[in-house]
Chain A
Amino acid sequence: MKSKRALFAVPYVGWLALFVVAPIVMVVIYAFSTAGGGFTLENFARMGTYATVFTRSFWLALLATLICLLIGYPVAYFISREGPRFQRVAMMLVMLPMWMNFLLRTYSWMSILENTGLLNRLFQSIGLIGLVNRIFGTSYDYFPMINTQGAVVLGMVYNYLPFMILPIYSVIEKMDGSLLEAARDLGANGAGVFRKVILPLSLPGVLSGVTMVFVPAVSTFAISRLLGGGTQMMLGDLIEQQFLGGAYNPHLGAAISLVMMVIVVVCMTVMNHFGEGEEQAVML
């Protein structure tokens, strides 16, 4: 019986081997070899040049994750407290933007943030720009919004926010209502129930939300190029350049990918551990 059932796993195991394990092995091989095929560590030695790209990537991804958490948690919390009909509609609205093409969404932000874009024209017509100029003694014709770090972070938050809301929402929504009643019964007021029961019990959702936002954010490439205008190069862009761009060097690209992967894995392990520690701390 058991061996028969194991047969069902074969397609997926094959898939894993072919499209997950093999590529990782290839990345490792490429990262440690020269164009001629010999072993080298030079790819890693050259990486120091790109230290700013590394720090910028991690810094912006962290910032975007943090903002997603600050926006996403309250949204998830309040949605989960409403009636089932409201919940369905609200969650659909949260997901709705994701049904549109990713590039389309990001291009839309370009036309909103541009110097002559929607927002600046709106600010001009309501006289906001003139007002700011008068107060601060500046002479803006428009607010520079596109091609800034802010725009890149905005793009990442916009694109990845649903991935934060979803896991937190599902954890809070499934929480046993009698636990909240028990906390009330034992004397906790609304804030106490949240702090002592809802928050600690929703941590697993927060952790998976953070993971689901941080990992794609740190390796993102189109957003930084479109909304950062090339001034805010991130790891994803750098890697893309090594494989498709003018700086063609797949070995260096593989090495960068590998280092990024290792850093992400380390970050996640530390964070998961920290999450568990948090739970332990509450327990003691």
Chain B
Amino acid sequence: MSKKLIRLADCCMAFDGELVLDHINLYINDSEFLTLLGPSGCGKTTTLRIIGGFITPTSGEVLFDDVRMNDIPPNLRKVNTVFQRYALFPHLNVFENVAFGLRIPKTVEEGGRKRKVRVPEAEIRQRVLEMLEVVSLKGFDQRRISELSGGQQQRVAIARALVNRPKVLLLDEPLGALDLRLRKDMQSELKRIQQQLGITFIYVTHDQEEALAMSDTVVVMDQGRIQQIGTPEDIYNEPKNAFVADFIGESNILDGIMHEDFVVEFFNRKFKCLDKGFAPMEPVDVVIRPEDIDIVPAEKGALRGTVTSVTFKGVHYDTIVDFKGFKWLIQTTDYHSEGETIGIVLNPDDIHIMRKSQYSGMFGDYSSYSEEYDDLEDVSLLEEEEGGDEE
């Protein structure tokens, strides 16, 4: 589990003088499910294409098993890719699409002599049919690609890559074109396949839920830089800066001052927290997750505010509360009507402290709550554009 399979050392990438990747340092372990997560234009697809060999970094090194791979073309790398829009060959049927990689003779060196080796036809047949079974497409081998639904095409693309037994599978937003229901199914399916075959997956997505649900490791990227690397729990519970806190899940982000270890001040009040190691009186960002906040009667609250909007979300209510002009999002199962004055209680483990960063002050206020939701829905559109730009 801890063997470093792929390493990106100080990789930069510039297109037409514009820096797209800014000193990326990253390693990927054997049998790991690693996700590159970030908004459109953050450089995640570029990173994947560097690993796949479709582009060469402007500077820095790509290492597979500590061997420099910068100038090795994609066909000689032991990785395979599942493309964003599948890229299945329309002139071949399902069987031939999956068999494509197996039908290409491999050059092997034997006693200093190079020799071309072909996979025998019987083995091709066996491996293709086996792989179609793994992706639940048994009996589809003679279908034309145009006869398949989006989800089925997706599975063919995965089978076509996996049948070559790559060490690493690269997936570029593979579920982006599927509807929500199918997406959820494919998420667990992908996870199952990854665990069944024990192959390293590098997965690119802008969907934070997808990333949290599937990954062993999440790499959060923005503006060509890695913002944080960690397990899904780490990323959610201990975000490193305001960008990560805002991008992963919902969060209220406030300005605070760290008085001493375990004591933070915001809204002119001191709160106990679990963080330490800051300079005395250091300005910090304070993150409070909306589901961690407990609403109590106004007189019992540590802070007092007025409810300005309530939205029913099924399991809970999204309640926007105005605390002295700063609006918080609170998720609670109890209904509080608009205009009501309420109090809240914060436990020390509800409060997470982050150092100030370039993202401070950009996120975390819910004054423009509904607009933010609209933006979230637009992400998929933006993503499409990004794909086009990078080609």
**Residues of chain A at the chain B interface (Cβ within 8 Å):** 176-179, 181-189, 192, 196-197, 200-201, 279, 282-283
Contacts and interface: CB of A to CB of B under 8 A. Distances in A.
A137 to B, nearest CB: 50
B92 A282 contact: yes
Given A186-B160, A187-B164, A178 B83 contact: yes
A283 B84 CA distance: 24
B281 interface: no
A186 B100 contact: yes
Given A186-B100, A187-B101, A188-B104, A181 B83 contact: yes
A107 B85 CA distance: 52
Nearest to A193: B75
B87 A182 contact: yes
A186 B91 CA distance: 16
Interface in B76-94: 79-81, 83-85, 87-93
B106 A177 contact: no
A178 B100 CA distance: 15
Interface size class of B (residues with CB under 8 A): 20 to 34
Contacts of A196: 100
Contacts of A181: 54, 74, 81, 83, 87
A192 B84 CA distance: 23
A147 B263 CA distance: 102
Given A184-B74, A186-B104, A187-B101, A282 B87 contact: no
A12 to B, nearest CB: 31
Closest 6 CB pairs of A and B: A186-B101, A178-B87, A182-B87, A187-B104, A184-B74, A185-B81
Interface in B87-125: 87-93, 96, 100-101, 104, 106
B104 A185 contact: no
Contacts of B91: 200-201, 279, 282-283
Query: What's the dominant secondary structure at chain B's contact region?
Result: loop
A160 B100 CA distance: 37
A184 to B, nearest CB: 4
B93 A185 contact: no
B52 interface: yes
A200 B84 CA distance: 23
B198 interface: no
A276 B169 CA distance: 35
Interface of B: 52-54, 73-75, 79-81, 83-85, 87-93, 96, 100-101, 104, 106, 160-161, 164, 391
A185 B75 contact: yes
Nearest to A180: B87
Contacts of B87: 176, 178-179, 181-182
B391 A177 contact: yes
Contacts of B106: 187
A96 B375 CA distance: 50
B89 A197 contact: yes
Nearest to A203: B91
A178 B74 CA distance: 13
A237 to B, nearest CB: 41
Contact of A184 (B75, B89, B160, B391): B75
Given A189-B75, A282-B91, A283-B93, A182 B164 contact: no
A283 B80 contact: no
Contacts of B161: 185-186
Nearest to A197: B89
Most chain A beta carbons < 10 A, residue from B54, B88, B91, B106: B91
Contacts of A200: 91
Nearest to A279: B91
Contacts of A176: 87
Contacts of B164: 186-187
Contacts of A282: 91-92, 96
A190 B168 CA distance: 23
Nearest to B85: A178
A193 to B, nearest CB: 9
Given A178-B85, A183-B89, 16 more contacts: A176-B87, A178-B391, A181-B54, A182-B83, A185-B54, A185-B79, A185-B80, A185-B81, A185-B161, A188-B104, A189-B73, A192-B104, A197-B89, A279-B91, A282-B92, A282-B96
A185 B85 contact: no
Nearest to A179: B87
Nearest to B387: A178
Contact of A283 (B85, B92, B391): B92
16 contacts: A178-B83, A179-B89, A184-B75, A185-B52, A185-B54, A185-B79, A186-B104, A186-B161, A187-B101, A188-B100, A188-B104, A192-B104, A197-B89, A201-B89, A201-B91, A283-B93
B105 to A, nearest CB: 9
A197 B73 CA distance: 18
Given A187-B106, A188-B104, A182 B89 contact: yes
